Chain A
Amino acid sequence: MSTLSTEVPDRNAGNIAVVNAPTTSATGERKGLTKKEIAADHPTWCPGCGDFSVLALYFKLIEKRKIWHEKITTVAGIGCSSRFPYFVQAHGAHFIHGRALPFASGISLSRPDLHVFVFGGDGDAFSIGGNHFNHTARKNVKMTYCVMDNWVYGLTKKQTSPTSPLGFKSKTDQWGAVDYPINPMKQAISAGATFVARTTHTNPNHVLQMMEAAMDHDGFSFIECLSECVEFYEGAFDASNPRKGGVFNEVPKTHDVTDELAAYKLAGEPFPGSFGIFYKVSKPTKNAKEAEINKSFQAKTTGMKDWQILQKNFDRMK
């Protein structure tokens, strides 16, 4: 038998549930946060970058919905847009490239008291992290994933991205992109995401609307937010911006958000396509399913201390 070489800090004894949610009351004396209180580092983005407006609207969401500092959890992977957590004055994590979703799932599944927001770019979401996108969507892990899609790799200075359109001239495709781009909306719908919306940084009210709806959705909510890279893909989204002579078409009022085929059809429209909620269905989340499993197991161990539950196993191994 080995000796334990470290002492554990003493904790209040008792049975361990998976989460002891903090007891701070969400209403009452505390005032909502001001924009000044939510803002942290000054963003490192280039002047004119679309990501600024996404950040501003995230602040607005926090202000409007009166989310307390400690309840905000912002997670990102790697890329320009993934610098996001540093600019938010709250708990946050800047993880490795492409793996923000499993990291966020770890928080979501062990801390049901928090709503996790994940921000990232198209490379993080659809290239290096493509498989995680599919699986987090199909498992319906509760969180909001906002992909700031700029159709180019910006942090590494203009290489082809998985959403770059055919013919886009980048440093890795000097003659123009030859690989067919991913359609993020189709990807999300077919992967089983239960909330799929599309917006663009040039329409702030719409972005906020989508963020609010995504946050209120009980499940994996995905937003593709077009966010222009003024440095390496200027004018990419002009056709969706009325101020640049384009059109901003909202999803038709008649669209049934629970109709998967109709959603898929919307996703197939040529650029600039439609903006709004394409697909939204209610399905039990991974969080709820795991909680259900726990409930049925814990019904058999009611009133037992953890060591007593373990003792039952050991008794069978004698």
Chain B
Amino acid sequence: MSDTIAEASSSGGAQKVGKINEAVIRIAGNSQDGIQAIGGFLARLAGRSEQEVMTFMTIPSTISGGPSIFQVRIGSGEVLSAGDEADMLLCFYQHSYEDHIKSLKLGGIVLYDADHVQPRSDWEEIYRHVGVNISSLTVEAVGGTGRDKGKNIFAMGLLAKIFDLNVPKLTKLIEERFGGKDPTIVQNALVCFNGGYNHSLENLLKTYQFYAPEKKDRHQVVMNGNEALGYGLIAAGVRFGAGYPITPWSDIMELLRRELPKYGGSFIQTEDEIAAISMAIGASYGGRVAVTGSSGPGISLKTEALGWAVMAEMPLVIVDVQRGGPSTGMPTNIEQSDLNIACFGGHGDSPRVVIAPTSVEDCFYTAIEAVNIARKYSTPVIILTDQGIATRIEAFEEPNLEKVCQDISPNFTTVADHKPYDLSKPDGITQHLAPGTRIESGKYPIVTGLEHDELGHPTGSPKLHQEMTAKRRNKLRKLAWEFPKLKTYGPDEGQILLVGWGSSQGPIREAVDRARGIGEAVSGLTIKHINPLPNGLEEIFKGFHHIFVVELNDEGIYGYGQLASLLRARYCDARIRGINKSDGLTWKVKEILDRARALASDKK
């Protein structure tokens, strides 16, 4: 099977068209060149063509400019990660060429802007080089304004030719994207695209074609994780939120600010992170679960108010789009180092719910689940996503919106009497009444951060503090029994179990597939509910010799990453060990497997 470009090009050079199963294209340039736009177009096209797609991007944390890449992996089968190595490198500058050539497979194609890139002869021997004067040809095509704006679209035309992409669909996408006030913009974009598409590629022997993908039952939608999460919150019925801008969380607040008014809701930009969570809690108290969110340092600032929500048992959804930390850290890089603050951040015993979505699609459904848990258990719920999942684009089956959208309007029905912190309730779970609800007994509750009695009035009683603390903890134990039973990816017995969470699910599954493909007994397990953990993990662990927790965080002082520490604390299982890294990049499949094999052979 000639699945990739390298294989397709080596087999039978006479053939004009190579059939491929998937392609990993890395586009490298500067951040203002619109390379994200090319990636976005390709991803969307893949979605419309029922292909699988996943993207990966880096953006510099500088305000404008600076090297930037966008990697897109398109496949006719399942795509689990953004791909370890690229089949093609499209580079606009000498630095893009030199910095990223190592990410290319041997025999892969370098498509470079001959106006800016001088190929190196040693590399020309091991990679196929195709030079096109992208910049000057763009200027020529558009009509000699002397500016190379549009070279990204020209380059996309070249890619369309090389990969035999669906031109009518791409044209339509360009029209949708650039259609608007000024018709010359869309005209110029199409001129650029056609210029690239019709450019003669004599030195490239052949073009490539994807195998036809499987037919999907429903349409696919294409979006990134932040969008999926934002729309998920809307589907869940959230109509109020408050936030403060911080990368990479800001996209979600911008989306909600823009979209909520259509539904009669509001998203408020506050003066700081503390005001944001306080305002969201106030709105939750007003009767409808509200949302706040942040990244990095912003989460630290929110912890005091979060503790109040735990104490007062107030429903709330908090989104944490993790980035490299501590402090300002690496604002535009990926890291999974907020698990501890999400589960334990704050003073006092303050149990809360933490859920980590595992893919872009999962962000959408996790938002709904988080809202429902917050309501049912009167608890803050943290959605722990990360920079990787937030910015990567995936195509997934369109949700049935009519079915999943829910109404969570407050209920103001008059009640006879009400004790929010009733200790005699059989399920032990607090439910609040929104202000505006009449209570016939004339006894009204207070919500408070002080330890309180059943009506919310302050108490210094040792017995009540003990009982209320237990009440707040027990409801989460109850919740844990509601979680679906976990299943391994791959057989439930074997040598190595790769345990992961969040965005690492894809690379771990690909690692499992690759290892199984060569006869290694490796399986995967994704833990989505981090706090409380689902029950029954020890049963799964029994089936394996090694349990390796793959995390994008540091191994810490005692040698274990954040989830690994939690699992060791709960299961006291010495076989649980960590595979950690903190380079600010997503996992490569090869990296996971190399580290797992080494760790398995290291008798510790």
Is B266's beta carbon under 8 Å from chain A? yes
Is B408's beta carbon under 8 Å from chain A? yes
Interface-located stretch among A100-108, A197-205, A209-217: A100-108
Is A254's beta carbon under 8 Å from chain B? no
Identify B405's interface contact among A85, A109, A134, A306, CB under 8 A: A306
Is B220's beta carbon under 8 Å from chain A? yes
Report yes or no: B264 in contact with A309, Cβ–Cβ below 8 A: no
Report yes or no: B368 in contact with A4, Cβ–Cβ below 8 A: yes
Is A24's beta carbon under 8 Å from chain B? yes
- Chain A nearest Cβ from B317, distance in angstroms: 13
Report yes or no: A111 in contact with B286, Cβ–Cβ below 8 A: yes
Interface-located stretch among A91-99, A119-127, A159-167, A227-235: A91-99
Report yes or no: A5 in contact with B436, Cβ–Cβ below 8 A: no
Residues of A within 8 A of B227 (CB): 317
Please classify how large the interface on chain A is, using the bins under 10, 10 to 19, 20 to 34, 35 or more.
Answer: 35 or more
Is A35's beta carbon under 8 Å from chain B? no
CA distance A85 to B448 in the complex (A): 10
Say yes or no: A93-B401 contact (C-beta < 8 A), given A17-B264, A106-B242, A318-B47.
no
CA distance A51 to B598 in the complex (A): 69
Is B287's beta carbon under 8 Å from chain A? yes
Is A73's beta carbon under 8 Å from chain B? yes
Report yes or no: A37 in contact with B442, Cβ–Cβ below 8 A: yes
Identify B279's interface contact among A4, A37, A105, CB under 8 A: A105
- Chain B nearest Cβ from A100, distance in angstroms: 8
Is B407's beta carbon under 8 Å from chain A? yes
Is B66's beta carbon under 8 Å from chain A? no
Residues of B within 8 A of A250 (CB): none
CA distance A24 to B278 in the complex (A): 29
Is B508's beta carbon under 8 Å from chain A? no
Say yes or no: A131-B448 contact (C-beta < 8 A), given A107-B283, A318-B219.
no
CA distance A300 to B262 in the complex (A): 8
Report yes or no: A318 in contact with B282, Cβ–Cβ below 8 A: no
Report yes or no: B366 in contact with A2, Cβ–Cβ below 8 A: yes
Return the CB mask of A16-27 against B: 1 if under 8 Å, else 0: 111011111000
CA distance A103 to B284 in the complex (A): 10
Report yes or no: B361 in contact with A96, Cβ–Cβ below 8 A: no
Report yes or no: B270 in contact with A102, Cβ–Cβ below 8 A: yes
CA distance A296 to B305 in the complex (A): 34
Residues of A within 8 A of B318 (CB): none
Is A314's beta carbon under 8 Å from chain B? yes
Is A29's beta carbon under 8 Å from chain B? no
CA distance A114 to B268 in the complex (A): 19
Say yes or no: A307-B401 contact (C-beta < 8 A), given A107-B435, A113-B436, A318-B48.
yes
Is A248's beta carbon under 8 Å from chain B? no
Report yes or no: B263 in contact with A2, Cβ–Cβ below 8 A: no
Return the CB mask of B357-391 against A: 1 if under 8 Å, else 0: 10001100110110011011000000000000000
Interface-located stretch among B73-81, B117-125, B229-237: B229-237
Report yes or no: A18 in contact with B239, Cβ–Cβ below 8 A: yes
CA distance A186 to B237 in the complex (A): 42
Is A90's beta carbon under 8 Å from chain B? yes
Residues of B within 8 A of A107 (CB): 282-283, 285-286, 435
Residue of A nearest to B440 (CB): A69
CA distance A107 to B434 in the complex (A): 10
Return the CB mask of B440-454 against A: 1 if under 8 Å, else 0: 001111111110000
Is B484's beta carbon under 8 Å from chain A? yes
Interface positions of A from 1 to 41, Cβ below 8 Å from B: 1-9, 11-14, 16-18, 20-24, 37, 40-41
CA distance A298 to B259 in the complex (A): 11
CA distance A106 to B447 in the complex (A): 15
Residues of B within 8 A of A20 (CB): 409-410, 412
Return the CB mask of A166-202 against B: 1 if under 8 Å, else 0: 0000000000000000000000000000000000000
Identify A102's interface contact among B274, B284, B373, B438, CB under 8 A: B274
Interface positions of B from 391 to 447, Cβ below 8 Å from A: 397-399, 401-402, 404-412, 414, 433-439, 442-447
Residue of B nearest to A41 (CB): B457
Residues of A within 8 A of B276 (CB): 102
- Chain A nearest Cβ from B275, distance in angstroms: 4
Report yes or no: B281 in contact with A106, Cβ–Cβ below 8 A: yes
Is B468's beta carbon under 8 Å from chain A? no
Identify B435's interface contact among A73, A294, A300, A314, CB under 8 A: A73
Identify A318's interface contact among B220, B235, B449, CB under 8 A: B220
Report yes or no: B361 in contact with A1, Cβ–Cβ below 8 A: yes
Report yes or no: B436 in contact with A12, Cβ–Cβ below 8 A: no
Identify A6's interface contact among B234, B240, B372, B444, CB under 8 A: B372
Report yes or no: B449 in contact with A95, Cβ–Cβ below 8 A: yes
CA distance A308 to B366 in the complex (A): 21
CA distance A17 to B280 in the complex (A): 17
Residues of A within 8 A of B234 (CB): 306, 310
Residue of A nearest to B280 (CB): A106
Residues of B within 8 A of A101 (CB): 275
Report yes or no: A12 in contact with B437, Cβ–Cβ below 8 A: no
Residues of B within 8 A of A313 (CB): 231, 259
Report yes or no: A317 in contact with B436, Cβ–Cβ below 8 A: no
Is B272's beta carbon under 8 Å from chain A? yes
Residues of B within 8 A of A297 (CB): 261-262
Interface positions of B from 208 to 223, Cβ below 8 Å from A: 219-223
Is A68's beta carbon under 8 Å from chain B? yes
Report yes or no: A5 in contact with B444, Cβ–Cβ below 8 A: no
Report yes or no: A5 in contact with B484, Cβ–Cβ below 8 A: yes
Interface centre among B48, B369, B435, B458 (most CB of A within 10 A): B435
Report yes or no: B402 in contact with A103, Cβ–Cβ below 8 A: no
The residues of B with any CB-CB pair to A shorter than 8 Å are: 44, 47-48, 176, 219-223, 227, 231, 234-235, 237, 239-240, 242, 259, 261-266, 268, 270-272, 274-276, 278-288, 290, 304-305, 308, 312, 357, 361-362, 365-366, 368-369, 372-373, 375-376, 397-399, 401-402, 404-412, 414, 433-439, 442-450, 457-458, 482-484, 528
| Listed A/B pairs (23) with beta-carbon separation below 8 Å | A2-B528, A4-B369, A5-B372, A6-B369, A8-B376, A8-B406, A18-B263, A20-B412, A22-B412, A68-B438, A85-B446, A94-B448, A99-B278, A99-B305, A103-B285, A105-B268, A106-B242, A106-B286, A305-B405, A306-B407, A314-B221, A314-B398, A318-B222
Query: Which 3 pairs, one residue from A and one from B, show the smallest C-beta to C-beta distance?
Result: A106-B282, A91-B435, A102-B278
New A-B contacts (6) at CB < 8 Å, excluding given A11-B409, A24-B438, A317-B227 = A2-B528, A6-B372, A6-B373, A71-B435, A107-B286, A114-B435
